[in-house]
Amino acid sequence: MAATSYSTDPHDDFTLGAPQGQVFKHFLRLLEREYLIDHRTNAFRFEEYANFRELGAIWAHEEERMVCRDEVLASLSAAATASASSLERRAANI
């Protein structure tokens, strides 16, 4: 029977087991904490800074969508009005 060797590379997606020592180290760090749940405001270290240039691009895109939507609604309204008037003319001719 061949001996199974595990990869020590923590970024190897095809390992046969967990990276050696990583699970144990994380468990020990959990035990060292006073509380198991981290109640700090930024527990996952997400940076929530706004890039105002990106916000401007998003705003411009939303404005463009609103203009396109208004144009589509206006053309649909005009088409519905024309259709209604043509139906009225047909009904008057009958």
Residue 72: predicted pLDDT:
79
CA 59 to chain centre: 17
Q: Using an 8 Å Cβ cutoff, are 20 and 32 in contact?
A: no
Q: What are phi and psi of 49, to 5 degrees?
A: -95, 135
Give the per-residue pLDDT at 35.
66
Task: Please give the pLDDT value at position 18.
Answer: 61
d(Cα 66, Cα 88) in Å, to the nearest integer?
Answer: 33
In this prediction, residue 1 carries a pLDDT of 46
pLDDT tens-digit profile, the chain (94 residues): 455 556 666 665 665 666 667 777 877 777 777 666 666 665 555 555 666 666 666 767 677 777 777 787 888 888 888 887 777 777 777 6
pTM tops 0.75:
no
- Gap between the Cα atoms of 70 and 77, Å rounded: 10
